[in-house]
Amino acid sequence: MRESWSATVLTLFPEMFPGPLGVSLAGRALEAGIWRLEAVDIRGFATDRHRSVDDTPAGGGPGMVMRADVVAAAVDAVHPAGDPRPLIYLSPRGRPLTQKRVRELAAGPGVALLCGRFEGLDQRVIEARHMEEVSLGDFVLSGGEPAALALLDAVVRLLPGVMGKDASGEEESFESGLLEYPHYTRPQEFEGRGIPPVLTSGDHQKVRAWRRAMAEETTRERRPDLWEKFLRERS
């Protein structure tokens, strides 16, 4: 039997966890022991009486920077040498998180996440601890915690036994390189808009063809970058 998938989050705000991960699919899976979550307060590794975790940036400039020594002590306590889990620093300058990377993380033993704050983290500890920098997109958050929650939600739902039907995720956006097709349900008529007739035809082959065509059209219109990548990989 596979051991529980394990997540450790290093943060200045451990009270933010599990947060939304404590409800719905992720919450039930957490209660069932399918995955484990530990939130660790970085301030607990500060050495001065003020529990300082940051200092002014070298070279001057606005804001504060998270200290390498404090963060290194926190990382070493929860992610010692030999820990097989990836060590990920949530950062707006990281590589964009993809569904492919999410699947890879779900297939592994777990993950250790470092949530940045202030202007960022001293580069030396990023390099010394071989952190993988990951971003949710081209925007800036007040800290890495919301990004950590999103990453964990994306991964946990793929763990065996979390989703009710294992096939339910196979046709979702990004799984095939395309955005997902549109969905419909009752009522048959809504404010003068009907359900596309093909979806009520009972012809499963035509339904599959329609869904594929709509996925391609949606991707081509909304995400030309994904569409070009899809065409390259298909050729």
Ranges of the chain with pLDDT below 70:
1, 165-173
User: Element (H or E) spanning 154, and its range?
Assistant: helix 145-156
Smallest CA-to-CA distance from 86 within 71, 65, 102 is with: 102
Token pair belonging to 138:
């081209």
The pLDDT of residue 165 is 60
The pLDDT of residue 151 is 98
Look-up: residue for tokens 């009752």? 186
How far is it, in rounded angstroms, from Cα 125 to Cα 12? 17
Question: Is the preceding peptide bond at 96 cis, omega within 30 degrees of 0?
Answer: no
The pLDDT of residue 167 is 43
The pLDDT of residue 175 is 75
pTM of the model: 0.91
Question: Is the preceding peptide bond at 18 cis, omega within 30 degrees of 0?
Answer: yes
How far is it, in rounded angstroms, from Cα 25 to Cα 20? 10
Neighbouring residues of 195: CB distance < 8 A, sequence distance ≥ 6: 184, 188
